[in-house]
Amino acid sequence: MREENREERVLSACNEKSGSVVQVAADQRGRLLMSTERLNTSSDRIKESRRTMLETEELGVSILQDLHGQRQSLLHAHDTLHGVDDSIGRSRKILTAMSRRMDRNKYLIGSIITVLVIVIILILYFKLRH
């Protein structure tokens, strides 16, 4: 009986130990599942962040290309404006020279008309006087 008692105690101790081992294993399994879930969530966040980063980079490249195109347009407009400015300067010089020639021609024609009028008056004076 003593031996049976002893066996029962050993079996009971084993059952208690195996019960606590099962409980520890269940706790560890639960923690492992939570850690795996957190890891999966973190991985999803990292993937989403990476996707957002790539979209942002793509948008940045697009904006830089647009800015480059606008810069080229502004440089072309700047060059064209300088060309127009040079042309306006040359045109102004030509118009000033033409204006001077017109004024000179006016004075010359006025002088010729004045001389002709004087000559006609003199001719009439001498013809009528004789």
Average pLDDT value for residue range 14-32: 72
Report the pLDDT averaged over residues 45-65: 96
User: Does the model's pTM come out above 0.75?
Assistant: no
Mean pLDDT of 12-37: 74
Distance CA 89, CA 95 (A): 10
Q: Quick one: pLDDT band at residue 3, thresholds 50, 70, 90?
A: low
Looking at per-residue confidence, does 63 or 28 come out higher? 63
**How high is the pLDDT of residue 64?**
97
Domain boundaries, the chain: 3-63+96-129
Q: What is the pLDDT of residue 30?
A: 84
